[in-house]
Amino acid sequence: MKKDTVTVVDNASGRQIELPVKHPTQGPSVVDIGSFYRELGYFTYDPGFLSTASCQSSITYIDGEQGILQYRGYPIEQLATQSSFLEVTYLMLNGELPNPTQLDEFSGIINHHSMLNESLKSFFRGFYHDAHPMAIMVGVVGSLSAFYNDSTDITDPHHREVAAHRMIAKMPSIAAASFKHTIGEPQVYPGLSYTGNLLKMMFSVPCEEYHVDPVAERALDLIFILHIDHEQNASTSTVRLAGSSQANPFACIASGIAALWGPAHGGANEAVLNMLGEIGDVKNIPEYLARAKDKNDPFRLMGFGHRVYKNYDPRARIIREMCHEVLAKLGDNNDPMFELALRLEEIALNDDYFIKRKLYPNVDFYSGLIYRALGIPGNMFTVMFAIARTVGWVAQWMEMIGEENQRIGRPRQLYVGAGQRDYVPIDKR
C-alpha cells in the first residue's frame, strides 16, 4: 500500500524515520521535517531557505517554471487587465472579490484613513533635507504605533483590521511627504483616487492647479497590482518573522520596508536605469551586449530574466504594453534613455543568446521606464514598490497572526565558530 511519507535513513547509525508529506492545492508537495531533530538529532541546512516552505499560506501562488502568478487563485493577467488596485487589495485582505457595495465601502474606509496625524509633520522636519526617502519611510512607519496606539492589540481582530486599513491608506501620504521633504516643498493633502492621490500629493503645489493625467494614473494602478505580493520573498518573510514575536503591525511593516530597501530586493528597477545610464547611447549597445555574454566580464544586463521565473515573467507581458503607451503619451522625446531602452528591448527579444536562456525583459525593466516617464526620481522607485507591497505584507501578517498555533520564528544554524575554551586574563595574553 502506498504511503504518504518520505523515508530518511541515517547511514551512520542505521536509524530510519518516516516523515509525513503534505499536499498543496497547487505546486510541489512538502515534507514535514518537524520531528527530524527529535528523531535523528540533526538540523536541516538550507541557506536562503531555497527548498524550505517556511509557512502555510492561501494568498499568493507562483509557478516559476510555467510563468504563473496568482492572487487568491486569480491569474495576474485577469486581475491586471480587468480589476483595480483597491479591488485587488480587498481580495488580498478578505480572500474574495468584493461586490459593488463592498468595494464602495472599502474605498471609503481607505480614503478616510489616508490623512496623517498633523503631529507627524514635525517628525518629517527632523530628517536632514537630503535624507533618502526610504530612510524617512522606515522611520515614519515605525513611529505610527506612537500615533495610532488604539489599533495595536494584535489579539483583537478589529484592531488588526483597522491597523491594516491605516497602513494601506497612509503609505501614499507618507511616501509623498517623504518626497516633498527632500525637495523642500509643502505637503499636500489627499482627496482623489488611490493612485491619483499619490500623483497629486507628489507633484502638485498649493499655488498651481493640478490635473492628474489618466494614463499616468492607470499606469501606476497597474504597476501597484503587479507588485502587491510575491509569495515568501525576503521582505515578506521579514514581516512574518517580526510579526511572529507579536510586535505591533506598524513595526512589522517597517521591518519589511527595511528589507525591501536592499539593492538585491527592491532596487532592481533603479538598477535598470543606472545600467542604461552606463550604456549611454544606442551605438554602444553591441559592445555592452558582448560584455553581458562574456562570463569573465562583471557587467550584467539588469532587468532581464528573473530568479523565480525560469520561463517568462507574467507581469512583464502585461506591463510592456502599458510602458509603450506611457512613453508615447508622456515620454520625453529628447531623453535618449527611452530610445536606448526600447532598442535594447527589441534586440534582447530577438537575440538567440537571450531567447535560449530565456533572458526576457522583466517587470523591473518596464516599471523603471514608466516611473522615469512619470517624472518620479530614481530614489523614489523603491518607495513606490513599498506602497504596493504593503498590501501583501499586511495580508500575510494578518494570515499569520490569525493562525491557531502561531509560534515565534526561530531558525537554527550550523555553528562553525570556536569550540569551548577558557578565559585567559588580560595580563597573560
Helix residue ranges per DSSP H, 309-415: 314-330, 336-350, 352-356, 363-373, 381-401
**Distances from the Cα of 170 to the Cα of 112, 285, 302, angstroms:** 10, 42, 31
**Distances from the Cα of 86 to the Cα of 103, 221, 222, 253, angstroms:** 8, 9, 11, 19
Among 113, 181, 227, 306, the active-site one is 306
Let me know: does 70 contact 27? Beta carbons within 8 Å.
Answer: no
Q: The dihedral of CA 11, 13, 18, 20: what is its sign? A: negative
Cell of 63: 509557478
Residue at grid coordinates 542604461: 276
Nearest to 259 by CA among 244, 237, 274, 243: 237
How far is it, in rounded angstroms, from Cα 429 to Cα 427?
Answer: 6
Let me know if 306 is a catalytic residue.
yes
**Distances from the Cα of 91 to the Cα of 71, 245, 354, angstroms:** 8, 26, 36
DSSP code of 379?
Answer: G
Let me know: does 361 contact 348? Beta carbons within 8 Å.
Answer: yes
Cell of 64: 516559476
Among 221, 229, 313, 364, the active-site one is 364
Identify how many contiguous H helices and E strands the chain contains and give both numbers: 18, 6
Let me know if 221 is a catalytic residue.
no
> Which residues are tagged catalytic?
306, 364
